[in-house]
Amino acid sequence: MITIRPATRADDEALWQIFQSVVAAGDSFVFDEQTTREQALAYWFQPEGHAYVAENDGRLAGSYLLKPNQPGRGSHIANASFMVSPEARGLGVGRHMGEHCLAEAARQGFRAMQFNIVVSTNEAAVRLWQQLGFRIAATLPGVFRHAQLGFVDAHVMFQELGDAPKGTV
Amino acid sequence: MITIRPATRADDEALWQIFQSVVAAGDSFVFDEQTTREQALAYWFQPEGHAYVAENDGRLAGSYLLKPNQPGRGSHIANASFMVSPEARGLGVGRHMGEHCLAEAARQGFRAMQFNIVVSTNEAAVRLWQQLGFRIAATLPGVFRHAQLGFVDAHVMFQELGDAPKGTV
């Protein structure tokens, strides 16, 4: 049973654990091992953002950050980052969070959602975002330094949000 | 005679003047009138970045910021922001800075340069970047809130940097 609620600073340690595991894989997140606990949590709890956590039977299974993709004249477009705990893979936590995030972005009045660097070799993620209504707007060559594969392509993915955005719960 | 040198904190007031004039136009920069002097200068002098100023006969005519487009696993791709003083338009300051910026990015070892939000209605800028070797990788619908035109499209523009990047001096 997956539930989603706003993150609080009481989640700091659990979030830092998940953050480190995602960073260690080096296959999806731009942040690398240089990122400190303080930097990671400052990013996740940035004033312009809204962080949520997914719990599976009361245990933290993942988290996402919803925020404006740009300041000022670009702030009507949402951006989001997602982390899933290694122990919670295959439970649909990512899909659950993605649907929640799209609904929340629409509710907050964002006009569209944009992902800037979806790693092309992370095929499960690309497929999930496409299923939730995103299209690949661009494929940028070699922009992600993959821990195993070296420089790989990444996608800019985009979808407009309406009164009834695709993929919402 | 246009010359380019690294920006210093002695340029703060002149940079803030140019920043405000570019922001007031509301047709090219994502930053809007909400941006404070402190925020603007903190952005321009961010630790990961390198800011340069262009002088025309000893007077500040423009400035650019060269920085990584992403942290960590995306930090081998450069990003840059440009401002030209309203009094210095039409003198080739933008082109001069663009060429300098591409050469500097290559010198610093960046593998490519990416612009995330080039306003489509800013045709002079789009043309200039194309002339300097950038291609339009994506056109994102309505992602820029133009002061006069409302929501307009913006381009993601991209070019690889090599030993002899296009458009360098």
pLDDT in tens, B17-54: 999 999 999 999 999 999 999 999 999 999 999 999 99
| pTM of the complete model | 0.94
**8 A C-beta contact, residue B51 and residue B7:** yes
Is the pLDDT at A51 greater than 80, yes or no? Answer: yes
Cβ neighbours of residue B155 under 8 Å, at least 6 residues apart? B115, B117, B118, B120, B126, B136, B137, B138, B139, B140
The string of pLDDT tens digits covering residues A97-139 is: 999 999 999 999 999 999 999 999 999 999 999 999 999 999 9
Residue A123 has which token pair? 């095929």
Instruction: Tell me the β-bridge partners of B4.
Output: B54
| CA dihedral (A81, B113, B117, B16) positive or negative | positive
Q: Mutation test of the interface with chain A: which of B36, B73, B79, B119, choosing the one with the most A Cβ atoms within 10 A?
A: B73
Neighbours of B103 (CB within 10 A): 16
Question: Which pLDDT score is estimated for A1?
Answer: 87
Question: Residue A126: phi, psi to the nearest 5?
Answer: -60, -45
The one-character DSSP state at B25 is H
Of residues B30, B70, B71, nearest to A73 (C-beta): B30
Residues of A in contact with B76 (CB under 8 A): 143, 145, 151
Is the pLDDT at B164 greater than 60, yes or no? Answer: no
Question: Which pLDDT score is estimated for B162?
Answer: 83
For range A42-61, the mean pLDDT: 96
Separation CA B32–CA A38 (nearest Å):
29
Question: Residue B119: phi, psi to the nearest 5?
Answer: -65, 125
Percent of chain A's residues with pLDDT above 90: 92
Q: How many residues does chain B have?
A: 169
Neighbours of B8 (CB within 10 A): 10
Is the pLDDT at B168 greater than 60, yes or no? Answer: no
Cβ neighbours of residue A138 under 8 Å, at least 6 residues apart? A155, A156, B137, B138, B156, B158
For range A51-58, the mean pLDDT: 95
Taking the Cβ of residue A144 and every Cβ of chain B, the question of whether any pair is shorter than 8 Å is answered with yes
Question: Which pLDDT score is estimated for B163?
Answer: 58
Element spanning A119, H or E = strand A112-119
For range A25-40, the mean pLDDT: 96
Question: Which pLDDT score is estimated for B67?
Answer: 98
Question: Residue A125: phi, psi to the nearest 5?
Answer: -70, -45
Is the pLDDT at B167 greater than 80, yes or no? Answer: no
